[in-house]
Structures are given as C-alpha cells and as structure tokens.
Amino acid sequence: MKKISVILSVIFGAVLLDILSKGVLLYLITGGVPLYGAAWDIVPVPYLMAHVFDFFNIVFTWNHGASFSLFRALGESAPLILIIFTSCIIGFIAHYLFTRAASYERIPLALIVGGALGNLIDRIRFGAVVDFLDFHIGGWHWPAFNVADVCIVVGVGLYLLNVFVARRKCLQQIKDGK
C-alpha cells in the first residue's frame, strides 16, 4: 500500500506542478485561466514574457506537435492522434509501474507518467501544449519546454541511471558468486 501511495504522490505532484505553472502563466497573459478552447484563440504566439537571465527567458508558445514540435505536419488530426498515442503509452507505463516495476524503477516511471499526463491534459484542453521555459546561448534557442517535459526528462534520466546501477550490482554479485 505504501508503494502505491508514493507512486500516486509523485504522479499527482508532477501533474499539479505542471498545471499550476501553466495556469499562472495563462493568468498573467489573459487575466484568467481558460479551462478549454482552441490554443490559437486563447493566446497569440510567440509571446515574450520576461528576460530572466542572459541565457533564460520565460516565453509563451503553443506546441501543436509532440517533442520538439514533431508531427506538426499531421495537420488538424494531429491533436487527436497524439492524444490517443500518448494515452496508450501512459497506460502501458502505468500498468508496468503498478504491476511489475522494481523498487528502483518506481519514482522515475512515476515522474514520466506524471509529466506525460500533464502534457496530455493540455492537449485535451487546448489541442496543444503550453511551453514557456526558453534557454538559449546567444541567438541559439533550445526549443521551449515546460515542467511536464522536465519531469519526463528527469524520469528517463533517473530510470537509465538506476538500470545501469542495478545492472552493475547484479554483474558484481555474479562475479562474486553470490
């Protein structure tokens, strides 16, 4: 029971941080927090909000595709296809997380599921995902991203690190004859 509550807390925390950060941003731009609507009708983009550091801005942009705006060429059917595809991936990872995941896999997978759910909520609400973190060096900008994307990347990084460490421990035990 404790493992389920920890998993759900991480998922809920990731989704909550993502929704709150995007909600504050939408509120600052529009004076309200729209619950749904076509992305292009809510806020024109790109919208520079603040120059924070020489290498970091807070911007407002809609991502109509997947990671790094992939699949934008699908046109009007892109949101529906991405909603179905993302839901299937979330379902697969969540099933594994709650039924088979080893202890070292739980937090990373929960972060991935939470981040994916945060972006899925945007895609269902607006047909696009709100991105606002803009890191750059000079005139070269990394594609804008959001808190959900950070959760996914951190989750994947932790997962890979944990798998590497677990594999190394297992190989050491085999070597030691245990």
Which active-site residues does the annotation give? 131, 149
Give the separation between CA 28 and CA 124, rounded to whole angstroms. 22
Q: What is the dihedral of CA 169, 158, 89, 72, to 10 degrees?
A: -140
